[in-house]
Structure 1
Amino acid sequence: MTPETTAAAASHPVSSAGTRPRRHGAGGGRAVWMTVAGIVLLALNLRPALVAVSPLTPAIGREAGLSSPSISLLTSLPLLCFGLLAPVSPRLGRRLGMERALLVAMALVVAGTAIRLLPHMGALFGGTVVIGAGIAIGNVLLPGLIKRDFPHRVGSMMGVYSMTLFAGAAAAAGLTVPLQHLSGLGWRALLACWGALAVLALVVWLPQSRSRHRVSSRAAAEAAHPVRGLWRQPLAWHVAAFMGLQSLTYYAAAAWIPTLLKSAGLSQGAAGWMLSFSSLLGIAGSFLAPVLAERRMPAARVTVVSTLLCAAGITGLLVAPAGAPYGWMLLLGLGQGGAISLAMLFIVQRAPDTRHVAQLSSMAQCFGYILAACGPLALGTLHDATGSWTVPLLALLALLAAQGVFGVLAARDRHVRESGPVHP
């Protein structure tokens, strides 16, 4: 157990809604498992409704006559939603409480999925924005919920959370096209199928949203007030920079690796499978990294290892992309999975209480996902300008070097602090 989690447990941190950590004592085992199941189902819905669009873009483009820029916008909109709406999420959590705010998040995912069933292209884009808004809330608030309810198991629970994120993305990337072949459904119906997961999460999480916690008036007043001065703190920027750089390299690589491998001689099916294979390995990396960082070795060392794994995979793609693609994807998947889970873990560990978690999560994801939205476009522009993948891959290696530096800085055992009094 880390010093941060010990301090969190000792001080009984309040949530952004003014709630204390739940006490899971004797007879509370069922409540613990229901909370864990709810977190897993919520996390499982933070990627599939959006990732499932990517394998279907050829069909969507043919039927709707969308241009390449329009299709690119369809895949970039969610990232922009994640970034632009992240600052709103802590306010929603303070107003409604985290449980109810997360229920709203799943309701938005369900609503956005239903909107995309309408036979208009405006509904496709509008529904995607609604889904992105719901996921943005979940992205920001779920780490705070874990900090509050599992202060003694932050590393393992963040591992479960990050692993579930990758599992949802891998399932959507790998199963959407086979489901299309087996069912014969159109792309609208296929996208709606992934919305069924959100309905399940909504039903399971509903009892959690009705929970009540008694707190002191002082604790509630402090929790209702936003954290001051976070954007001026170097440690907060270290966490945000690590979050942004790992997101940028992940989404840039995910957008272009199939194209790169196809240009190296692999078939379209094999190139697409390599991306899914990488995501599957990311599940293992995303679970192992925070557990190792909390219990086995210094977090800075785990950060360096995950960065070096990513760099080794990118170097392999640079030198001999078709030579050992499974090896390159194994390295890249483990490294990327570890990086995203460490980014989430640092948000929780560098915050002294749940109120700070929500604000630091908001800052890191606002900066991170806006930066990530630029990654695929920047990599594609470099490729078009140079006519090869050499310069884009070298650029990714340079970004990974910066990612490693900021990761080591973010891994230092200290907390962000509020500047100024809690009350005006």
Structure 2
Amino acid sequence: MNIPAPPVRPPRAPVWWIGIAIVLVAANMRPAVVGVAPVLAEIQASERLSGTTAGVLTALPVLCFGLLAPVAPLLARRIGIERALLTALVVLCAGFVVRSSGPLVALFAGTVLVGAAIAVGNVLLPSLIKRDFAHRTGLMTGLYTMAITGGATLAAGITVPVARAAGLEWRGALLVWVLFAVLALLCWAPRVARATRPARGGGSRVGGLWRDALAWQVTAYMGLQSLSYFAVMAWLPAVLVDRGFDPIAAGWMLSLTSAAGVVGATIAPMLATRGRDQRALVVVVTAIAGLGLLGVFAVTGIEVPAVVLLGGAQSAALGLSLTFVALRAPDTAHAAQLSGMAQSVGYVVAATGPFAVGALRDATGGWTMPFVLLLAVLAVQGTSGVLAARDRLVRRRGVVAAAAP
């Protein structure tokens, strides 16, 4: 009797190559968004956009992060995490091309494609790290966070200099970043060839977090710190140009903000996990962010230390918000559900930031009211953070097996 040979599984790629591929994909999660800020004034002049419309443009990808976050797990369940991320990279490349193709409608359509692609990456990359690097989660999470921040730093700092050196206007400046996405795509494709098909069957889901006060406090902190971050990323160069900075210098200042964020995002989670209560740390981070906003918007001559303080504090708040998801959940199932809730709602809230700042700038003709708005947001953010930082857990709910597809 002939016994069929078992299927031959493609050899697993070296761990270091998988790590590099993940880092390259992660590094593409911010340049498409942050790269717009240094050329936003040029886009406004070229397309005759008001501050409100420019705010909508900068808010669109963030809104996609929130609205499309729930789609990512469904896509991964159907085609697998690797293939879902490959699809996201293809859509990201298409978004770059469409956004720079010419008409104003293409600018907005391409922005939506970019936001949709990044939304999938935002959700699935942490899951992939948890699955494939169970014994190196800290190292890979650190590299993942640094890659995201590093990509933002590059986009903020070199978008305008590269465009000027190559004689490109804003469309060409934004299109340059498609090369970075193509590199990630080429490195990720072999990973997909080695991936196994997703198992058929159900996972588990947790109900009831939407009625849990602590879950909403974690979600509020996630959303408000993201609102402040994306508002500053979108409008900081414009603020500095109005203060007399050259656009290239303003871009480098935005890059300095992101670079300082690497330090904040790395240190804050380590400090947070040393104790069960993080209220003091939240207060310190909130106060530092307030000083940074004061130096950027209200006090002249201290812009450099101000953006360092602001960038470090904002990224520290991001690190704290991600840490709260793990610390406030009693188990993995609740952590996954809390993460999805905080990310989907949080990014929808965050999308209002760039739009609101642009609208206030148009309405008042200055930066005083946007400054007041961001201070008010920071105060509410700090309050929700103090509540989320208490040594408590979201209420344990029943874990229900999901039906098999």
TM-score by shorter chain over 0.5: yes
**Alignment correspondent of 1:250:** 229
- Is 1:164–1:283's contact at 8 Å kept on the other side of the alignment? no
SS of residue in 2 equivalent to 1:421: strand
Note the alpha carbon deviations across 1:352-409, whole angstroms, 9 max, x for none. 6665555433322221122112123333444555665445434423322332232344
Could you say what the CA RMSD is over the residues aligned between the two structures, in angstroms? 3.2
Contact 1:287 1:338 survives alignment (8 Å): yes
- In structure 2, runs of 5+ residues without a counterpart are 1-11
1:339 paired residue number: 317
- In structure 1, what is the equivalent of residue 28 of structure 2? 45
The 2-side partners of 1:156 and 1:304 are apart by: 27
Shift of 1:264: 4.6
User: Is the 2:64–2:119 contact (alpha carbons within 8 Å) kept by the matching residues of 1?
Assistant: yes
- Structure 1 123/59 Cα, relative in aligned 2: closer, same or farther at 3 Å? same
- 1:237-316 superposed matches below 5 A: 237-264=216-243, 266=245, 268-294=247-273, 299-316=278-295
Percent identity over the alignment is 48
The answer to whether residue 315 in structure 2 is matched with residue 329 in structure 1 is no
Q: Is the 8 A contact 2:35 2:155 kept in 1?
A: yes
Q: One-letter code of the match for 1:290?
A: P
1: CA distance, partners of 2:171 / 2:278: 43
In the aligned structure 2, how far is the partner of 1:183 from the partner of 1:416?
Answer: 56
Other-structure match for 2:8: none
Of 190-199 and 227-236, more deviation after overlay is shown by 227-236
Asked if 1:191 is matched to 2:174, the reply is yes
Contact 2:37 2:235 in 1 (8 A): no
Greater Cα shift, 106-115 or 156-165: 156-165
Match for 1:234 among 201, 206, 213? 213
The 8 Å contact of residues 77 and 129 in structure 1, kept in 2 or not, is answered as yes
Match of 2:7 in 1: none
Residue 191 of structure 1 aligns to a residue whose secondary structure is: helix
Cα distance in 2 for residues equivalent to 1:206 and 1:353:
33
User: CA 1:382–1:110 in 2, change beyond 3 Å: closer, same or farther?
Assistant: closer
Q: Is 1:399 aligned to residue 377 of structure 2?
A: yes
Residues 265 and 322, structure 1, Cα contact 8 Å, conserved in 2:
no
Distance 2:246 2:183 in 1: 37
Determine helix, strand or coil for the equivalent of 2:289.
helix
* 8 Å CA contact retained: 1:147, 1:354: no
CA distance in 2, matches of 1:214, 1:194: 31
Q: How far did residue 302 of structure 1 move?
A: 3.8
- Alignment equivalent of 2:201, drawn from 221, 237, 242: 221
Distance 1:420 1:333, change over 3 A: closer
Residue 252 and residue 91 in structure 1: after superposition, are their counterparts in 2 closer, same or farther (change >3 A)? same
Q: Which moved more, 1:280-289 or 1:267-276?
A: 267-276
1:7 paired residue number: none
Partner of 2:4: none
| Residue 36 of structure 1, CA deviation | 2.2
Instruction: Name the structure 1 match of 2:86.
Output: 103
Which amino acid is 2:235 matched to? Answer: W
The yes-or-no answer on 1:374 pairing with 2:341 is: no
Does the residue aligned with 2:301 lie in a helix, a strand or coil?
A: coil
Residue 178 of structure 1 deviates from its aligned partner by: 0.6
User: How far did 1:417 drift?
Assistant: 4.2
1:380-419 paired onto structure 2 within 5 Å: 380-382=358-360, 389-411=367-389, 412=391, 414=393, 417-419=396-398
Q: For each residue in 1:259-288, what CA deviation from the matched residue of structure 2 results, as whole angstroms up to 9, or x when unmatched?
A: 444445555554443222212211222222
Deviation at 1:211, TM superposition (A): 4.5
Q: Quick one: which amino acid aligns to residue 96 of structure 1?
A: I
Q: Following TM superposition, by how much is the alpha carbon of 1:335 offset from its aligned partner in structure 2, in angstroms?
A: 0.5
- Contact 1:158/1:344, CA 8 A, preserved across alignment: no
Matches within 5 A, 1:70-149: 70-149=53-132
Instruction: Provide the TM-score with structure 2 as the length reference.
Output: 0.84
For the 8 Å contact 2:59–2:353, the answer to whether it is kept is no
Distance between the aligned counterparts of 2:268 and 2:292, measured in 1?
17
CA, structure 1 residues 116+131, in 2 after alignment: closer, same or farther (shift >3 Å)? same
Query: Which segment drifts farther, 59-68 or 240-249?
Result: 59-68
CA distance in 2, matches of 1:408, 1:305: 11
Cα gap change, 1:196/1:355 in structure 2, threshold over 3 Å: closer, same or farther?
farther
- C-alpha change, 1:94 and 1:359, in structure 2 (3 Å) is farther
Q: Is the 8 A contact 1:261 1:322 kept in 2?
A: no
From 12, 19, 32, the equivalent of 1:36 is 19
Q: Partners of 1:310 and 1:329 in 2: how far apart?
A: 9
Alignment TM-score, normalising by the size of structure 1: 0.80
**Secondary structure, aligned partner of 1:221:** coil
- Compared with structure 1, are the counterparts of its residues 293 and 318 closer, same or farther at alpha carbon in structure 2 (3 Å cutoff)? same
Contact 2:65 2:116 survives alignment (8 Å): yes
Alpha carbons of structure 1 residues 414 and 152: separation in structure 2 relative to 1, 3 Å: farther
Q: 1:394 to 1:119 in 2, by over 3 A?
A: closer
